[in-house]
Amino acid sequence: MQKDVLVGHLLALFTVGVWGVTFVSTKVLLEVLAPVEILVIRFILGYVFLWILWPRRLGKTTRTQEWCFFLAGLTGICLYYLVENIALVYTRASNVGVIVCLSPFFTALLGRLFGANERLTAWFFAGLMLALAGVGLICWSGEEAVQFNASGDLLAAAAGFVWAVYSLLIKRITVYGFAALPVTRRIFFYGILCMIPAACLGEFSVDVDELLDPVVGGNLLFLGLLASGLCFVFWSLSVKVLGAVLSTVYIYLIPVVTVATAIVVLHEPFTVSVAAGMMLVVAGLFCAQAAERIFGRKAAFEKSHQE
């Protein structure tokens, strides 16, 4: 049992490390490919890879279940990554990596709006204020190298909102009891299907010589096979072993990995404002998620003993 838990922690740590690098990898590819081109190639690679890992069909589903899979593909695969890729055209990779991690707040707000039982407490709003202050420091800094870009940074926030919708859909899908890998593959399929109109409107055209370039091909394989294919499976396994609450804590490391990678690879500046903003976002996310559970459980324990 302890060995399984250790493996779960290692898988979660590996996954968020890879996902943190994807913002920088995509930024590199945007020098050669359009956002929709990266998106289509990435998830076709991931879809094929998932078939290789698990060459079995999902099984019988209902119409309602298929609609949930479709909506998950539309939001979490097509819209989220398309908006994120476009955001990376206009703003820095570190900005996008930090801002999209506001999605847990959007998830909580949407969940409450649509009838979730969890109430929004003072811890949640305190964390939200800290995280928004952090985003403000990163995006609106007066330093020349860290300027707010309305198009890019607002698109990054929109991507976080779309991911929140996807998270709520996934929460519903897990109730169906299907294995994680074929479900992920089905969601990938619908996501790719939804990309077709965007590819047609965006005049999708890829030069084979560009794909054979080591930098382009290497980054596409990284995004398609590792970040999209393997890491989605790893994340499902880690959530199964550790639970959704404990696994979520690792998400807070993504902006840290993104900023560090952007500094090394893209030579993006690391200023006092960036450092302070990044720490505030991570602290706000932790405050809203972990602190509420820690102190909530403590209060419940004390109340039970008083009774």
Supply the pTM of this predicted model. Answer: 0.79
Q: How many residues does the chain have?
A: 307
pLDDT tens digit sequence for 125-152: 787 788 778 777 766 654 444 445 667 8
Contacts 24+ apart (CB under 8 A), 199-205: 199/36, 199/37, 199/40, 202/34, 202/35, 202/36, 202/37, 204/34, 204/36, 204/37, 204/40, 205/37
Q: What is the pLDDT of residue 63?
A: 94
pLDDT-derived band at 82 (thresholds 50, 70, 90) equals very high
Q: Is the pLDDT of residue 301 over 50?
A: no
Average pLDDT over residues 209-215: 89
Confidence (pLDDT) at 205: 80
List the chain domain ranges: 2-117+149-251
8 Å CB contact between 94 and 147: no
pLDDT at 69: 96
Looking at mean pLDDT, say which of 149-153, 156-160, 164-168 comes out highest: 156-160
On whether the CB atoms of residues 24 and 93 are closer than 8 A, the answer is yes
Residue 285: both structure tokens together? 């996310």
- Give the pLDDT confidence of 258-295 residue by residue, as tens digits: 888 888 888 877 778 777 877 887 787 777 666 555 55
CA distance 53 to 302: 48
Q: Give the contacts of 55 (CB within 8 A, at least 6 positions apart).
A: none
Average pLDDT score over residue span 113-121: 64
Is residue 72's pLDDT more than 90?
Answer: yes
Q: Is 106 buried (19+), middle (13-18) or exposed (0-12) by CB count in 10 A?
A: buried
